[in-house]
Structure 1
């Protein structure tokens, strides 16, 4: 089953120090820089990626644009990225992997069977993917547990390992 990464765009962007600084000067360039990193990641891992940004006061309807294989959503006026991600994850259930550090969103989407990963953890996995491609070697993230985990926990770990 192919994974669909639903990314809280500003939440992830604010985890990257150089993009935080760029965001203060030129938000459009900061978003482009984030999307460029995600495009490189997508080229390596081949996951479907949707990045959702809040409307931030735009008085426009929701807009969707596909930028080199990544779907970018700007929510409609009055809708938050959180609302969109929750709705989409509830619809996609087990296929969805939600990338956000917002505990409320993570808890909500997991009740529908989606997997959630913090933005920091995802960045670590994205950097590992870049390293693996460059060096040609696989990095191990989690030590293997000594006891057999429950089936749901094993399935969750298997999906996260694909990141």
Structure 2
């Protein structure tokens, strides 16, 4: 079964257009371009998609929802942030959803609910190219100082030193579905 993907819209736009000028970032055209990219992703992968945008300052008094090209677009109501809507949706779907946000508060809440969390950078690479990002290998050391590290390591450590940690392997397995 395909997981429901919940996207923090402005968080993802902030990553995609980090170097752009503010007026170009804030426009409706940029939001529409993101919705177009998400609908193409939906057509390619088949995951149900919900993108949440902030409406807490200038939005309607009630939450507004639209469906376009297989993508559900949610605008939070005035006084409610998109983060709160995403947290509520993550609690509703629990393990059956994946949350795309680089916001720590949203990510922590989604993890507590049992949802899979993906950063905006990871999802952006999959959104535009359709190809997965390279494996995370920051845990590996450079060639410098390997000899010193081997001497300090306790002798009771066993296992393949070239094998990725289990948590990283589980995360990569989940990411293959996206």
TM-score for both structures, normalised by structure 1: 0.81
8 Å contact from structure 2 (residues 59, 76) kept in 1: no
- Output the CA distance in 2 between the equivalents of 1:94 and 1:18: 31
Q: 1:106 and 2:121 equivalent?
A: no
Match of 1:141 in 2: 134
Match of 2:23 in 1: 24
Equivalent runs, 1:75-90 vs 2, <5 Å = 75-90=76-91
Deviation at 1:57, TM superposition (A): 1.9
Deviation at 1:59, TM superposition (A): 3.8
- Uncovered stretches (5+) of structure 1, i.e. residues with no partner: 133-138
Match of 2:12 in 1: 12
Q: How many equivalent pairs are there?
A: 152
Q: 1:119 and 2:120 equivalent?
A: yes
Match of 1:159 in 2: 174
- Uncovered stretches (5+) of structure 2, i.e. residues with no partner: 138-161
Q: Identify the structure with the greater helix proportion.
A: 1
- Output the CA distance in 1 between the equivalents of 2:109 and 2:172: 19
- Output the CA distance in 2 between the equivalents of 1:88 and 1:63: 14
Q: Secondary structure at the match of 1:124?
A: helix
Cα deviation digits, residues 82-133 of structure 1 (max 9, x gap): 001001101111111110110111011101110111101111122331xx5x
Select the structure of larger CA radius of gyration: 2
Q: Secondary structure at the match of 1:14?
A: helix
- Output the CA distance in 2 between the equivalents of 1:44 and 1:143: 25
- Over the aligned positions, Cα root-mean-square deviation in angstroms equals 2.5
